[in-house]
Amino acid sequence: MKKNKQFNDRLKEHFEELSPQLLKAAQYISAHPYEVATRSLRYIAKSANLPPPTFSRLAVAMEYKGFEDLRETCRIEIKSHRLNTRYARSTISAATNVELDSKKGPFIFHQSTAAISNISSLSSAIDNKKMKIVVNRLVKANRVILIAGMSSRPFIDYMAYMASMAFDNWQVFLGETASTTSLLLGMNNNDVAIVLSKSPYASHSINTAKALSERGVYIVGITDEYVSPLIPFCSESFVVSTETPLFFTSHAATLVLIESIIGSVVASGGEVVRQRIASIEAINQQTDEYY
């Protein structure tokens, strides 16, 4: 395994092998790379409320030479400014942890600050090579199925609306039992599923992703945690920051990501896609679809 592989890349590879205790340690490291890189093991263990040996065992389980080797990975990530979005979330949380009263200024200021920080975190952490791979698979796919539940569902609907202007092989998976069976029977390794799932994670989204991955379908996951239950079933995954002063998570960065994916796929679709968009626009004008 390459020494310079990022911690979260290794975490994805070893996710299913880790015990709950080791996963808790991994989640702390994923969220606090600066602390891991600069503070003592005793401090880190106390902050995570875990025994110090847990982190040493985690390092071995993830094929590091030891905890110092793992710590060096965090230092390299910091120096190269490739910080994961979970750390950005903790930083944003500290910056926006304010009482919601008039003395602290308009709430929209704190909400917009968090949203902008989430988007900045996405743009700085995005892996362009990964994005190109995903876009290429989407362009070549026989079918693209979009899956989400709860608060993530409207964003999949929006993604489907954008895609329908350019392609006729994208569709939203509704999640009924009968349609699940039909979906599984009809999909294979020439198809792609985009699954959007964030805490507290819709069961049907995770279970469907698992079933599709077992059939060889290429799974693109969009989630909010490197220890998300969706990650193990993904061919590629994007972790977005959802920090907000509100109880509800923010989807601002998610919106930027899905618009970027669709924009990249459309740009790669060639003349056929451009002609389809023009034809749909013309029909919408003729049928008074637009006011």
Angle between helix 52-61 and 67-79 (nearest 10): 80
237, 220 contact by CB (below 8 A):
yes
**137/240 Cα distance (integer angstroms):** 21
pLDDT in tens, the chain (291 residues): 344 468 888 888 888 889 999 999 998 888 888 778 878 888 889 888 999 999 999 999 999 999 988 988 887 776 664 444 444 445 445 444 544 444 567 778 888 888 888 898 888 888 888 999 999 999 999 999 999 998 899 999 999 999 988 888 999 987 655 566 777 778 899 999 999 999 888 999 999 999 999 999 999 999 988 778 898 899 999 989 888 877 778 899 999 999 999 999 998 877 787 888 888 888 888 887 777
Predicted pLDDT at 5: 65
Predicted pLDDT at 170: 93
Strand order in 192-196's β-sheet? 170-172, 144-148, 192-196, 218-223, 236-239
**283/177 Cα distance (integer angstroms):** 35
Q: What is the CA radius of gyration of the chain?
A: 21
Predicted pLDDT at 85: 42
Predicted pLDDT at 158: 93
Smallest CA-to-CA distance from 148 within 132, 138, 163, 159 is with: 159
Report all structural domains of the chain as residue ranges with CATH numbers, in order of start: 7-79 (1.10.10.10), 128-284 (3.40.50.10490)
- Written as one string, the DSSP assignment of 217-284 is -EEEEEES-TT-TTGGG-SEEEE-----SSSSPP-HHHHHHHHHHHHHHHHHSHHHHHHHHHHHHHHH
Q: Model-level pTM?
A: 0.70
206, 230 contact by CB (below 8 A):
yes
Taking the CB of residue 111, how many other CB atoms lie within 10 A of it?
16
